[in-house]
Amino acid sequence: NETTVLCLTVQNAKYPITLDVIRKICSITGQILRICILRKRIIQVLIEFDSFETARKVKDELDGADIYSGCCTLKIDYANLKHLVVRGNDQDEIQLDFFN
């Protein structure tokens, strides 16, 4: 399953996780198309990339890494989605579509 969408679970989130933070850490390996941050009991981020190769690089490089020293640890899995659909923002979801 060569999906371009990754699911990032942020563990031990002591600092705010924003669209800018996610974009900065994930855009170093390729182009991000869409981001959706889900804020429930845990913070999860769905990110759609321009290619499977980009998604694979991000997963390989960042899985298990800390966004900030000693906290905000990333657990990264491939999502069971082909594409993200960005509808809008509310208090539990923050979304960004770079092409619409």
The string of pLDDT tens digits covering residues 27-37 is 888 899 998 88
Contact between 98 and 32 (Cβ < 8 Å): yes
Residues 5-83+93-97, CATH architecture: 2-Layer Sandwich (3.30)
pLDDT in tens, 77-96: 999 998 888 776 555 556 55
Describe the crossing of helices 19-26 and 52-62 by its angle, rounded to 10 degrees. Answer: 100
Q: What is the pTM of this model?
A: 0.87
Beta bridge partners of 96: 35
The residues spanned by each domain of the chain are 5-83+93-97
